[in-house]
Amino acid sequence: MKSLVQKDGVRLQSLISEMLTEIGEDPNREGLARTPKRVEQALRFFTEGYNLDPDEILNGALYSVPYSEMVIVKDIDFYSLCEHHLLPFFGKCHIAYIPKGKVVGLSKIARLVEVFSRRLQVQERLTTEIADTLNGKIKPMGVGVVVEAQHLCMIMRGVQKQNSVAVTSSLLGAFQDQKVRMEFLELIKK
């Protein structure tokens, strides 16, 4: 998939200018004169995940290591855009896996979150994409992913619930066992 934003961005800037006019603003007034360019650049950054390949990110960081205990990277900050309203949602992602002969560089786990969060998303798909990719790439005994996020589409509009947090999980392989699941959930609470 290609980025949602063209390289030169001229068409998107024109559409943003039209949108400003449609909501009753003057896109030529001082405070808005450069807004179409700024929004175009922001959208390019927010959707750069479409140009990132999870295979390329993980391939160079797989190592044969005789380790078979749980590996957890927790509190990975992320932000994304809700595909329904184009409003941000943001929070923390917690990822664990139990290696079976191969481990992955820890920073690559955080990069994997960026690949999928920097696309138009729903939290449920974000959670499963991360879990499925890690599971398919390193073929561990199991993978667990928990995502906690606040959605501006719930906070700023709609139900306007300021303190709501959505939590999703994807538990694969060994993480479907009750003991493993509980160990993971306990460790990410601390």
Digit-coded pLDDT (tens) for 60-113: 899 999 999 999 999 999 999 999 999 999 999 999 999 999 999 999 999 999
**Do 70 and 32 lie in a common domain?**
no
Question: pLDDT tier at 6 (50, 70, 90 boundaries)?
Answer: low
Q: What is the DSSP string of the chain?
A: ---SS-SS-HHHHHHHHHHHHHTT--TTSTTTTTHHHHHHHHHHHHTGGGG--HHHHHHTTEEE----S-EEEEEEEEEEEETTT--EEEEEEEEEEE-SSEEE-HHHHHHHHHHHHSSEE-HHHHHHHHHHHHHHHH--SEEEEEEEEEEHHHHTSTT--TT--EEEEEEEEGGGSHHHHHHHHHHHH-
Identify the CATH number of the domain in which residue 24 sits: 1.10.286.10
Mark whether 102 and 34 lie in a shared domain. Answer: no
Domain that holds residue 165: 61-189
Into how many domains does the chain fold? 2
In tens, the pLDDT along 34-45 reads 999 999 999 999
Q: Are residues 185 and 108 in the same domain?
A: yes
Asked, for residue 160, whether it belongs to a domain, the answer is yes
CATH of the domain at 78: 3.30.1130.10
Are 66 and 159 found together in one domain? yes
**Active-site residues: which are they?**
82-85, 123, 151, 153
Provide the percentage of residues in the chain whose pLDDT is more than 70.
96
Same domain, 39 and 78: no
Do 29 and 68 lie in one domain? The reply is no
